[in-house]
Amino acid sequence: MTGYGTATGAVGSQRVTVELRTVNHRFFNPNIKLPGALSRWEGDVRAALQKAIARGHVSLTARLERDTAATAHVDEERFAAYAAQLRALQSRHGFTEALELRTVLRLPDVVSAESLYELPEGPSELLAIVRTALESLERMRDAEGMRLAVVLEERVTSLEQAMGRIAVRAPDRLVAERDRLRHNVRELAGGVDVDPMRLAQEIAVMADRLDVSEEIDRFRAHLEAFRGALHAADRSPVGKRLGFLLQEMLREANTTGSKARDTAMMHDVVAMKEELERIAEQVENVE
């Protein structure tokens, strides 16, 4: 789920600000940007993020506050090497312009800022700031999750109502199919007596083939499990579990549709499949 969190604290003698952003993603996908002085702890930061966030594209940026105690430093060896190369090029190619000091000073790594601050030996201070930013991020994600849970609950209720209509219609549909089969047999027989046992067997086979009671029971069980996972009291990730239950519900809906042979039931099956697709899109956002 989307979220934002930030925190500032001390790492050694330096102030560090950590910003965290998350957007929807099927897997854990971190993007960590640390200043050079802190880059040695990237692995520790990654592990802390993965422990707290199971799914999502996670962007972490850490910034060192400008150090007023930093002083400019000129790398004289590098300066001399650049100057010698430039003079050699001037002589080789016949340039007569004077070599200016500022030209050499602008070349890469000639001038750097030497900071007077020190860093601790381990990453504990940086990780403490990261954890504080994660707490801020989680508060925002929790609020979004609560809103999303309301939307999903509404859609689950819609599925429950559609399956309830199918459950009510299914027995009447079987009676109608039984009567239709008997009528067709009498017309085809043309007045010839039909073995009632044989007809009863055919009706029983038809009823078994069109019976959707098992599919309804399984669908309702999956729906109840989905609801339970959606409102679970613990904070364990449920996104993958919800996705699996949706696949199972879609399987039962497809089987029900293949057995329906009834316009009203088919309308409800189509509506359920559309609702399941909408729910699946939202579940992609759930950790």
Q: Specify whether 84 is located in the same domain as 94.
A: yes
Q: Residue 279 in contact with residue 148, Cβ under 8 Å?
A: no
Q: In angstroms, rounded to a whole number, what is the distance separating the alpha carbons of residues 215 and 30?
A: 41
Residue 265 burial by Cβ neighbours in a 10 Å radius (0-12, 13-18, 19+) = buried
Helix/strand/coil for 72 = strand
Residue type, 106: R
Q: Specify whether 26 is located in the same domain as 15.
A: yes
In a domain, 156, yes or no: yes
In this structure, the strands spanning 14-23 and 3-11 are antiparallel
* pLDDT at res. 118: 66
What is the model's pTM? 0.62
Closest CA to 221 of 155, 282, 163, 153: 163
* pLDDT at res. 96: 79
Q: Specify whether 197 is located in the same domain as 273.
A: yes
Q: Specify whether 144 is located in the same domain as 276.
A: yes
In a domain, 232, yes or no: yes
**DSSP string covering 85-114, please?**
HHHHHHHHHT--SPPPHHHHHTSTTSEEEE
In this structure, the strands spanning 28-33 and 56-64 are parallel
Number of domains present in the structure of the chain: 3
Q: In angstroms, rounded to a whole number, what is the distance separating the alpha carbons of residues 61 and 63?
A: 7
In a domain, 15, yes or no: yes
Residues 6+ apart with CB under 8 A from 17: 6, 7, 8, 62, 63, 65
Q: Specify whether 100 is located in the same domain as 16.
A: no
Q: Specify whether 132 is located in the same domain as 144.
A: no
In a domain, 105, yes or no: yes
Closest CA to 229 of 103, 163, 172, 145: 145
Residue 154 burial by Cβ neighbours in a 10 Å radius (0-12, 13-18, 19+) = exposed
Helix/strand/coil for 66 = coil
Q: In angstroms, rounded to a whole number, what is the distance separating the alpha carbons of residues 190 and 178?
A: 19
Q: Residue 56 in contact with residue 287, Cβ under 8 Å?
A: yes
Q: Specify whether 57 is located in the same domain as 131.
A: yes
Q: Specify whether 77 is located in the same domain as 154.
A: no
Q: Specify whether 194 is located in the same domain as 262.
A: yes
Tokens read off for 38: 């802190």
In a domain, 189, yes or no: yes
In a domain, 119, yes or no: no
In a domain, 41, yes or no: yes
Q: Specify whether 7 is located in the same domain as 133.
A: yes
In a domain, 225, yes or no: yes
Q: In angstroms, rounded to a whole number, what is the distance separating the alpha carbons of residues 63 and 40?
A: 15
Edge-to-edge strand list for the sheet holding 14-23? 3-11, 14-23, 56-64, 28-33
The range of the structural domain enclosing residue 187 comes to: 139-283
Q: Specify whether 12 is located in the same domain as 85.
A: no
Q: Can you give the pLDDT of all 287 residues of the chain as single tens digits? A: 688 999 999 988 788 999 999 987 778 899 999 988 888 899 999 999 999 888 888 999 999 875 555 566 788 888 888 888 888 888 888 887 888 888 888 888 787 655 545 678 889 999 999 999 999 998 988 888 888 888 999 999 999 999 999 988 888 777 776 767 666 666 665 656 656 676 666 666 666 677 888 889 999 999 999 999 888 777 677 888 898 999 999 999 999 888 887 888 899 999 999 999 999 988 877 77
Q: In angstroms, rounded to a whole number, what is the distance separating the alpha carbons of residues 168 and 199?
A: 26
Residue type, 145: G
Tokens read off for 44: 């520790």
Q: Specify whether 39 is located in the same domain as 94.
A: no
